[in-house]
Structure 1
């Protein structure tokens, strides 16, 4: 082999090495429901931080709890040339046209926490509704094995709201059948809304009085709405009130002995895990290689990654929320 050929072969090998070793860089868009939705913002920030460490660009948009705004933001991100969309939808039904358009352009789509219906896409990352229902019901039944129960479920048009309610119903059924649990009232709450929960709690009191032992509220705002009304009647003492998301106000209430428990979704763990899944998809990993679990959304069986959550009561605030850095004691006391 001539010296010239050896030279060009060496250059080719060197270029090939750098080409293979260079980290591929992509642009990821994250659509969260609203800048006021603390957990979606916090988890999204952890996801963005991890993706940027991996060499990717991240663009975040907040939808102001308006499905039309979020849809417009999604198309804007597609026109900017994103390679992946992570979507925590305001409305899991009306966002479907954006998902179909993204797929037609070869953009990876990940539904985050809330399922997107009637469209095929790559991955669904969410909590474990069956386990969350268990945490709610076990806590209630441990402390109030008999008595008057109220259930405030999430939005009926949100898959999480429906699934949680179904699992709660299943777990409470034998206790209702035995007569130990008297289910006074149950309803779904549009938008998982605090004000609506307060209104419904007032309706319960108007109809049945203040002899209430348990309020299984499926998120913190609804739990705080129920507590707010019960406190007006000085009827909150000893009532087991649940919540979800470990919002600061709810954790303060738990520390003060008012609300009893919340479910915490470790923001950093969720954000980092989602970033790793997005990175794997962008680099060619098939969804079926990331999880064997699927969720049918009306159009397809979507590969699903379930990430477990943690129950928080007054006894483990230090261990779960303070030591993790989620809050400082000055935020709670």
Structure 2
């Protein structure tokens, strides 16, 4: 980034998008390598999961339908029952493996992109080999932050279900007042989900660049977002809408697109794959740029030389940015 630190605070929504595109195109060689090594497998895992899950589930549904028309206490009935049980086990084992690999490549991709953006910001020498050396050493910090965010989301959903049950018990959903209350609760629920997601994504960047992880990174993220909440919401919602559209198109034209023909499905799958892969990369770059925008907005200008020192691999270990070592300059606007 060739902008001065104090200039970043004035970037709006489209300014952040423009800066992100500029960084990707200016450093496309290294971003292409990161994409091929980490983002491409992440995209493949996500889309392949949709296709394979649909195939396994369709077999389960087919066998369950056949079981309904098979007389019980017969050899055929027992075979079908055993087959369905095995397919359900395979289905959930596949889901578990999918989530593990999705999480691993998601954390590795985040680590690589955040480290790369920070290196560009400090104008330090950057190579793909150095990125891949640092990445395995920082993703554990991201894992801690992810587990905390997962716990927060779990508790949030439990509380939301309790409130929803109480609402259904105390009011009649068929009345205008009851319907209005349910709509308000749904809006509040999704607003909370968006807020938690925004805090988590920024906390992921903080976990890589600062000496914060887990709940401390979430608190730091919450503080940084103040004053930039509407921009953060706009970024998240727009990226999520594009993500949902790509996912919907893949499901309709590839997963359930038998009527389109094999070549149309292949072409649609390739297009969706390329779009989603670029969306993942762009989203990671945007959240990294947004971090520096928030730091600038709160007049916390990280000394580039000190940040560069902390991004170096020191005696084979990645050293995160520590509050006691870094000077946050207060600059005048």
* Coarse TM-score class (shorter-chain normalised): under 0.3
TM-score by length of 2: 0.25
Greater fraction helix: 2
Greater fraction strand: 1
